[in-house]
Amino acid sequence: MSKYCYNEACTKDFLNLENDVIFAKQAGFDLIEMRFDCINKYLEKHTINDLKTLLNNNKIEPSALNALYIYPEFLTDKKDPQRDDEIFCQLDLIKNLYKKAGINQCIVVAPLMSDESSCEIYKKPQITDSCVRILKYLSSSMPYIKWIFEPVGLSRSLVRDAEHANEIISAVNRSNVGLVLDSYNLYLKERKDNYSFSNIPSDKIFAIHMMNGKKVPDDEKIIDQRYRTFCEDGDAIDLFKFLNALEEINYKGMISTEIFNPDYQKLLSHKEIVFKAFNELQNIVSKFEKYMHYSFFNN
C-alpha cells in the first residue's frame, strides 16, 4: 500500500510538474501532492489526459491537490465576486481532474487574512460557522472528492490548531471531509512541539505533512512559511513527538513532506531537492518505527 508522498511545494519555484513526477518516483515516493500553480503551468502545453499518462507511466499515484484557499464570506451576500470567481474556476479544474485523471482529494486551507489585525473582527463561533458552511457546500456539491481541511498556525490564520479544526470537521460530519495535520503548522501557534491528537479519530485524518523548521528567537514574529526545513535539517521540532502522537491514535496512512523554503532552490538542483526530501522523511519515519515496533503503513 502507498506510503511516502512528495509535495510539490518543495520545488514549487521550478514550476515543472513533469520533472517533479519523474524525480519523485526515482527518489522512492509512492504518491505526489500536486500544486495548482504547477498544474496550470503544465496545462499550458499539455492536457489532463497527458497528466494522467505521465502519472501512469511513472507508476506514481496522485494524492491531494494543493490547495483551495477559502475566506469567511465565500458564498454569502458579503462575498468578494472576484475571489468567488477564482474559487469556482478552481473547482471546475478539480472536477475535470477527477473525471479525466481520477484525482479525488483536495486540501482546503483555513482562512488566511492579510495580517493579524484583520483576524480580530472574527470571533471563534463565527469562524467555525463559516468554515462548516463552506465545507458542507464542498462536500455536497462534489461528494466524490475528499476535502482535507488544514489548520495553519500563523497569527493571520483564523483556524490555528488541530483542536479547533477537529471541532469544525466534527460539525460538518461528512464522510468525505477530514483533516491534514502538518507538524510545522501545528508548531507555529505556540512554538511548541507537544503534540496531542487524542480527541481526533484516526479515520478523520486524511493526510499527514511532516517537516522540521529553523528555531528563531522568541521575539521574532513568524509571518510566513520560509523557516520550514526538511526533517533532519531543522532544530525547532522533535519529530518523534509528532510521530508518537500519531502512533497513540493508531494512525495508518500516507506521510508527506512540504517545504516552502527558497534557500534549498538556491543551493541544490531540482533532482537533489526531491531526493533530499525522500531521504530525510524516510530516515525519520524508519527510525521511529524501528524504535517503537510500529508501522504507519498497512502492508
pLDDT tens per residue across span 67-121: 999 999 999 999 999 999 999 999 999 999 999 999 999 999 999 999 999 999 9
With bands split at pLDDT 50, 70 and 90, how would you rate the model's confidence at 298? confident
At 2 the pLDDT is 66
Percent of the chain surpassing pLDDT 70: 99
What's the sign of the alpha-carbon dihedral 199, 203, 207, 208? Answer: positive
Copy the grid coordinates of residue 48.
489532463
Closest CA to 203 of 181, 184, 182, 179: 179
Which residue stretches of 122-269 are H helix? Answer: 124-141, 162-172, 183-188, 239-248, 262-267
Average pLDDT, the chain: 97
H/E segment holding residue 204: none
Confirm if 179 and 165 have CB atoms less than 8 A apart.
Answer: yes
Convert the pLDDT of each residue in 173-226 to its tens digit.
Answer: 999 999 999 999 999 999 999 999 999 999 999 999 999 999 999 999 999 999
C-alpha cell read off for 133: 458552511
The residue to which cell 477530514 is assigned? 178
pLDDT at 1 over 60: no
Query: How far is CA 246 from each of CA 2, 39, 239, 250, 281, rounded to the nearest angstrom?
Result: 18, 31, 11, 6, 15
